[in-house]
Every structure is written in structure tokens, then in C-alpha cells.
Structure 1
Amino acid sequence: MQRFGTLSFGHYGPLGRGRELTAGDSMLQAIDLAQGLDDLGVNGIAFRVHHFARQQSSPMPLLAAIAAKTERIEVGTGVIDMRYENPLYLAEEAASVDLISGGRLALGVSRGSPETVVKGYEAFGYTGSQDPRGADIARDHFSTFLRAIDGEGMAEGDPSSPFGGASGPQRVEPHSPGLRSRVWWGAGNRDTAVWAGQQGVNLMSSTLLTEADGREFDLLQAEQIDGFRQAWSDAGHPGTPRVSVSRSVFPITTAEDDLYFGRSAEQGGIGVIDGMHATFGRTYAGTPDRLVEQLQQDAAVAAADTLMLTIPSQLGVEFNLRIVEAFAKYVAPSLGWESTRA
């Protein structure tokens, strides 16, 4: 494990006992959390993206704000639903954040996860899908997005324009060189992982896999990672792609930790999501020594270079910083991690 970071679902709304976390609270706390993580030397902070839900839905302004207030930490998404995106506008936004951050964007995208509404992307104007889950729209948008960030001309220039027009195909602006190397595809099974390798983008392996053959989650995920890397190599892409996996990991070092997480450790299971059988990852909770032992035995954590910790963002900045600091201090070094702090 070369890097680790956090993945926040960004929930907001009622907290009970008359308390409420507003959308504004959620975003401002995310910025504070990112600054704290940057000070700890944590490598990344990423946010789930869901539309029509009390979660992050338009993450680019948040990522830009975080990038402007931090120095080292990667800022990213896990994942943006490409069914909802104008690919050229996303290319402009992504380049802007990448430039503001000095190349620290880790842009995770995919077909997206199950929604709280029926085909919400159609309400955004993207219709005509031949797939019940809109996967064809997502991949078409992604293809256009990659062409745009690669600097391909996307519209014909007008040499008679009073604003300094030029002839020939024109790329979208701004352009951030190297952005493609910081794009990740969120894959939920082996086939989509292989496809990501063929496209030449990094792999963000999902918290669940839409496969179920009785094997443990980590073994299925490690096989998915192997298929991705083989596809990357077979396609002739240069360099070494990055791979991230996410886990719920809670070091128990105080009585409060035990109160919240002492009974949450569980084996992953098999269920049905979005009409498909799926294998779910497990939650790790225990003493630091026990967590080191368990994570060293996790085949997918061993195969990936980056581990993203899913965090309970509703519990606030101070609480989450303490949980992450405990992981950084007592667990991560035994998995091969070194802080980014000088």
C-alpha cells in the first residue's frame, strides 16, 4: 500500500435530537477535513457523487476550494456518474481543478451506482439509451470526455470571429497536460475492469462487485485487478496504472470508538443490488494490531497501490481526523505506507 486516503459519502440532513447537518455544513466541513488530512500527510480525499439525493452532486466547486487550501493531498471523486454529464463541460471543469491543484486531481468516473430516482439522467436531458441502466450513454460520454482532455479539436474554428477566431478544429479550454493519467474508471466487475485497462485509465475498484460465485470479496476483487493490469499491458499502454480499493476500517483506540464501531466488524455478504447479484466488502473494526493482521491477509488490499477509507462524515471533522490519524499512526506503516509530510 503506497497511498491511502478517505472516501466520503457526504450525507447531510437530520441527525436526530433536533440537529441537522445542512448541505452548506457538509461542504464546509469537507474543506476543513481535507486541510486536516493534508497536515497529517494523508494522500487523498474523495467524494461520492449522487444526484437527487442529500449527498455531493456537483463536486467540482468543492474540489477547487479544497485544492486552493491544501498543498499535497489528491482531490477526487468516487465516482462521477457519466450518464449525467456534458462531457465537454466536464473536461473544462476537470482541467480547471487540475490546474488549480497543480496536478492533484484524481477524477473517478463510471456508469454510476443505483439511483434514488428512475433514470434521473433523462431529466438532465440525456435520453435514447438502449440499455436499461444507461451504460451506453455513460461510455459514449466518457469517450468524448477523453478526446476532449487529450486536446482533440472538438469544434471548427471561425476565422471571421471578432474575438480572434482561428481556422481548423479547436480544443476546449483550459487544457491541463497529463490529466488523462489522473482519470480513474470505477469498475464493478471483471468485464468493466478489463475495459478500463483497454482504455488506458486507472482502476477504482468498487465497494461491491456485481459477481457472486461463493468466493470471498477480496479474492474476487484481486482477480478483477489482475484482469485490469493484463488488459492494460495487452493494449500496449505505457507506464504503470494505479489501482485503488476502498474499505471501511475503524481502529478502536478509545471507549468512544468501541461504542460506535465495536460491533460493526462483519464478513462481506452476497445480496442483490440494481437487479444484479453482488458480493459486498466487509467492515474492519478492532485494535490496530488486529487490523494490521486482517488487512495484510486481504488479497485486494495487497494487490492495490491505494486504499481509500470510507468515513462517517456525519460525525464531524474532529472525530474523523482522530480515526484517520489512528490509522496513519498505528496501522498504515505496517502496510507499507509513508506520510507525505516532509
Structure 2
Amino acid sequence: MPAPGDPLRSLGFLTIGLFDGADPGPGHETTLQVIELGEQLGFDSAWLRHRHLQYGISSPVAVLAAATQRTSRIALGTAVTPLGWENPLRLAEDLATVDVLSGGRLNPGVSVGPPMHWDDVKAALYPDTADLEDLSYERVSRLVRFLAGEPASSFAGREGVVEEWSDRVQPHSPGLASRVWYGGGSLRSAQWAGEQGLNFLTSSVVKAESSEDFATEQATQVQAFRAANPAGRVSQGLVVIPTDSATAEQREKYAAYVEARLPRTATPQGPARMMFAPDLIGTSEQIAEQLHAHAGFREVSEVVFALPFSFEAADYVQILTDTAQHLGPALGWSPTA
């Protein structure tokens, strides 16, 4: 178990990529600028949430393709792509293409299960096959197999004068399959991800199974993953808002945001008994102290801190800058030049 003196190995951030539905261009451009800033500040990774039928990035793979041409070092990931919306074969082609464009920097994060508001969208998403779709873990396994280069077709070879056909996904990007992450919030998901040789993303939402203490539950899941896959990577994602260089107005806005979200963290929510972690706000020194006391954080050496959903571009600049220049070093991390 990492102690407060053990250095944090990898520091990343996650954004939803919020935009105005009436004028979506500026929001998408801001997201790309935030990723560029992350690289300049020395972050190890930048991740995009995946939001369908909302005013957040609906196609992170496309946005990350653009980001590959504006960055050269920072790892790029999705956290997470819900595979209930995807055809694994087609997604494998897109992911491999972006990985090639990035020079091998893509980290696909995925999850399974019925899409949110399934009854409202299934007629549009799968008009003829909704009741037949397999939305289980097998959807992840299919994606990983295609990324690894297993056959996707029974035909390969030349057809006609110039057309060459492959029986596997093209382009093939060696190593991409080993960079797939599973985003889970239950003990079963953690164990399954480990057994499959995947990496594991744990976030600010977990299922209450053995306790009603978020940190304890998260630590238990990480331990279960590691028992199944000792060599696998695991990353924790919490909402963290350092205020070292924030203005008085920003501090007031941040505090109101955190306070409004706090009631949902008191007890498990809904039939699934999902628990939400409180957002961490304060100086980098204060946040580092809280993290070092957090059982979930103490089990990891990689983090992907989530940016709040609804802030302005200037707020994200301040939060990322303080994270890289103050909070990261307080956790033993050093930015990459």
C-alpha cells in the first residue's frame, strides 16, 4: 500500500468537453486547447468523457484524432466509451486509426451495459435488434480481440486489379489492445477486468457492496483487480479542485458547486446503491493531505482527476495549472518536460 511519501507515478485529467448546443464549435475548440495546455504543463494523460445526446463530447475518438495533430507526447484516452452504443468492429477501426495518428498514445476506456435512458433510445439505436443485442462483457472482449488482430472476416487477398482485402482490422496498431481500460464501479467488474488482462479505471462512483464508506469500497475493488492481474494498471479518478491561485470569485463559485453536489454523497443512491465521492476542494496542501488519508488513493500510483462539468475555460486553466504546479508535486509527482 503506498504511503504518503511514495511518489505519484502518473497524473492525468478528465474533461466532459462542454459546449453550447446553438454554437458547438467554440466548446470543442476549448477542449482541444485544454488538452494542449495539459501537455504544456507536463501532464501524463488527458481523457475525454463520452456523452451521447447531451452537450458534452459525443465523439471523443474524433476529437482525440484532432488532438493527435496538436500534441506530441501526452497520452490520450476515453473515460469511458459505453459500448452499448458501439459496434466493436467499427470502433476498433476508429481506435486503431487514432492510435496510428498519435504514434501509439491512445488509451481506450470502455464500459458495458444498456445505454442510459435505454427505453427512450433503443428504437433509434437498434430499431430491429434492440432485444437481441448482447450488452454484456462479451462486447469488450470482441473489441479487444479485433484490436489484437484476430480475424474479423473469412476473406483475405486480392480482388480485381488493385483491391487488397485483409481479414483483420486495418490499420493494425500493435500494442493498442494492451492499452484498453475497463471503467467499473463494482467488485465483479474489477475482478473481471483483471481476469481479462485489462487495465482498470475507478472513478468517483462505486457500488456499495461491503460497506457504505466510499474510500473503503474503492480500495477493496482495486485490491480485487490487483489480485486477478498483478501487472495491470489501475487509475483513480476523483473531482479535485485546487484553489491556490484562484480568485475570490472563483473560490466562491467552486465552493457553491461542491456544496450543491455534497448531499448525494451521504448515502448510497438508488436500487443499485451507487456511492458518490465528495469533491475535494482547497489548497493543494489541503487536498494532498486528504488524498494521503484516502484508502482508495493509497492503493494507486496513477490518477486521472476529473474537471468539474460546468466551469469556464479560465477556470480550467487555473485548476490544471495549480494541479500541475502545486498539487502534483505535493503528491510526489514531477511534470514531464
- TM-score normalised by structure 1 residue count: 0.86
The farther-off stretch of 106-115 and 325-334 is 106-115
Pairing 1:216–2:222 present: no
Structure 1 residues 11 and 121: CA distance shift in structure 2, 3 A? farther
> Secondary structure of the equivalent of 1:260?
helix
Q: Is 2:20–2:27's contact at 8 Å kept on the other side of the alignment? A: no
**Are the equivalent residues in 1 in contact too, given 2:113–2:135 (CA < 8 A)?**
no
Mapping of residues 130-149 of structure 1, within 5 Å:
136-149=134-147
Aligned residues: 323
Distance 2:137 2:196 in 1: 11
Query: Partners in 1 of 2:158 and 2:48 — Cα distance?
Result: 44
Q: Deviations over 1:12-44 (max 9, x none)?
A: 347xxxxx7x32222111111111111000111
For 2:49 and 2:34, the matched residues in 1 are separated by 15
Q: Report the counterpart of residue 104 of structure 2 in structure 1.
A: 103
Paired residues for 1:69-84 under 5 Å = 69-84=70-85
Measured after TM superposition, the shift of residue 112 of structure 1 is 5.7
SS at match of 1:54: coil
Query: For residues 150 and 122 of structure 1, do their structure 2 counterparts lie closer, same or farther at Cα, with a shift above 3 Å needed?
Result: farther
Using the TM superposition, give the Cα deviation of residue 111 of structure 1 relative to its aligned residue in structure 2, in angstroms: 1.4
1:256 counterpart (249, 252, 261)? 249
Alpha carbons of 1:328 and 1:39: their partners in 2 closer, same or farther (altered >3 Å)? same
- The separation in 2 between residues aligned to 1:37 and 1:166, in whole angstroms, is 40
Question: For each residue in 1:248-289, what CA deviation from the matched residue of structure 2 results, as whole angstroms up to 9, or x when unmatched?
Answer: 11112231332122352658332324x411111111111222
Partner of 1:66: 67
Residue of structure 1 aligned with 2:278, choices 273, 277, 282: 282
- Aligned-partner SS, 2:80: strand
Any unmatched runs of 5+ in structure 1? 15-19, 234-239
1:89-140 deviation per Cα after TM superposition (whole angstroms, max 9, x unaligned)? 111111111111111111100016862452635532283557xxx7x42423
SS in 2 for 1:338: coil
Q: Cα deviations across residues 64-110 of structure 1 (Å, max 9, x unaligned)? A: 10111001111111110111111111111111111111111111000
Pair 1:309-2:305 in alignment = yes
2:116 is aligned to: 115
Q: Distance in 1 between matches of 2:269 and 2:286?
A: 30
Quick one: structure 1 residues 47 and 29, their matched pair in 2 at CA, closer, same or farther if it must change by over 3 Å?
A: same
CA contact (8 A) 1:110 1:138 kept: no
2:321 aligned residue: 325
Structure 1 residue 46: deviation in Å?
1.1
* SS of corresponding position for 1:170: coil
Matched, 1:294 2:285: no
| Deviation string, structure 1 residues 232-256 (Cα, Å, up to 9, x no partner) | 24xxxxxx21111111111122313
Deviates more, 1:74-83 or 1:312-321: 312-321
Say whether the 8 Å CA contact 2:144–2:180 is kept in structure 1.
no
Matched, 1:11 2:18: yes
Higher mean displacement: 307-316 or 319-328? 307-316
* SS at structure 1 position matched to 2:238: strand
The letter of the residue matching 1:183 is: V
Secondary structure of the 1:55 match is coil
Of 144-153 and 313-322, the range deviating more from structure 2: 313-322
Listed one character per residue, the Cα deviations across residues 273-332 of structure 1 (whole Å, up to 9, x for unaligned) are: 4x4111111111112221111111111112122212221354333321211111222221
The answer to whether the 8 Å contact 1:53/1:116 transfers is: no
* One-letter code aligned to 2:236: V
Distance 2:282 2:217 in 1: 24
Over the matched positions of the two proteins, sequence identity in percent amounts to: 30
Deviations along 1:177-223, whole A, 9 cap, x unmatched? 00012110011101011000011110011321122544321111011
What code does the residue aligned with 1:250 have?
A: I
Greater Cα shift, 308-317 or 186-195 = 308-317
More divergent stretch after superposition (262-271 vs 136-145): 262-271
Letter in 1 for 2:82: D
Residue 163 (structure 1) shift = 5.1
28 and 178 in structure 1: CA distance in 2 versus 1, 3 angstrom threshold = same
Q: Quick check: 2:284–2:330 contact (8 Å CA) kept in 1?
A: no
Number of the residue aligned with 1:247: 238
Counterpart Cα distance in 1 of 2:34 and 2:130? 40
Structure 2 Cα separation of the partners of residues 124 and 138 of structure 1: 17
Q: Secondary structure at the match of 1:155?
A: coil
Q: Is the Cα–Cα contact under 8 Å of residues 48 and 79 in structure 2 kept in the other structure? A: yes
Q: Which amino acid aligns with 2:179?
A: R
Residues 211 and 217 in structure 2, CA contact (< 8 A), matched pair in contact too = no
Provide the residue aligned with 2:224 in structure 1. Answer: 227
